[in-house]
Amino acid sequence: MYEIRIDPLSGLRAIVAAGEAPSPGMPLLAPDAPAPAPDAQPALYTALAAGGAHEVIVNHPLPVTTLAQLAVEQVRAAVEVWRERMRAHARAAYVHLCVDEQPATGAASTPSQAQLYALDFVPAVVARERERFSAHAQRTMGSNLLEDLVQEEVRRRERIVAIDDEAVLLCPYASSAPYALMLAPRRRRERFEDDGPSGAALLHDALSRLARHFGESPPLSLWVRTAPRDAERFCWRIDIVPRLAPAPGLELGAGVHRNDVAPERAAAELRAA
């Protein structure tokens, strides 16, 4: 089984295997997860029940290992399943949906799949973003932070990779890794799971461009950032980060990312892919 432990120095939460090794395929979160026994020093050692839900969503019945191997309509169908499953957990404090892909390595390769985590808490990184959205709205008499950012990026054109009727694809100004991409809706919507454009066609385009640029789909992680429950100011987006090198000590120890490929250069190369 798992439990959620709170780091006494940073206050961050980690989902940790407790006791014997969990069985293969065991979900990290469960609605009936037992509460751990309290420690004699709760100010230093705090553990909580790993409550919530954890789902594995196979992206397509075909034995493909990357979303880039699918046709655009098949990616649209996969994204609609993501949104359906996210809506099923509307009571969660936060729903995190992510996809981790590795290059195909033969018959034993894992099929392309998404992981959904319906959390009982709002992760610190999401809470900080929620605060920045609220602060921006207060400074600008109600404007939306991501909507304003996308409009300015479109005006400058330096980091734009592609645009369609639903969304904008760009290399973020402070990209956390080489060839990192962000997909954002052209018109703000707080929650990805709500009805409306999903950006699925542009997501397929983004993954196809990465595959063409590198000669094959690189190992990557992508995730949907959606509004936490009860958030008044937010806007969804999809982040795509190729995993081209192990995370260095600067990132792991200080939370500061190193990127040796300027996002302006990356955007130009991906536009040409």
pLDDT of res. 256: 96
User: What is the per-residue pLDDT across 189-227, written as a single tens digit (0 to 9) for each?
Assistant: 999 999 999 999 999 999 999 999 999 999 999 999 999
The string of DSSP codes covering the chain is -EEEEE-TTT--EEEEE-SSPPPTT--S--TTPPPPPPPS-TTT-EEEE--EEEEEEES-SS--SSGGGS-HHHHHHHHHHHHHHHHTTTTSSEEEEEEEE----STTPPPPEEEEEEESS--HHHHHHHHHHHHHHHHTTS--HHHHHHHHHHHH-SSEEEE-SSEEEE--TT-SSTT-EEEEESS--S-TTSSS---HHHHHHHHHHHHHHHSSPPPEEEEEE-PPTT-SS---EEEEEE--SPPPHHHHHH-----SS-HHHHHHHHHH-
- Per-residue model confidence (pLDDT) at position 105: 59
Q: What per-residue confidence (pLDDT) applies to 104?
A: 60
Confidence (pTM): 0.96
pLDDT at 75: 98
Q: Which domains does the chain have, with CATH numbers?
A: 1-50 (no CATH), 61-272 (3.30.428.10)
What pLDDT is recorded for position 126? Answer: 98
Determine the pLDDT at residue 25: 82
Give me the average pLDDT of each 10-residue run along the chain (273 residues): 95 93 89 95 96 97 93 98 98 98 68 96 97 98 97 98 98 98 96 97 98 96 97 97 94 95 98 97
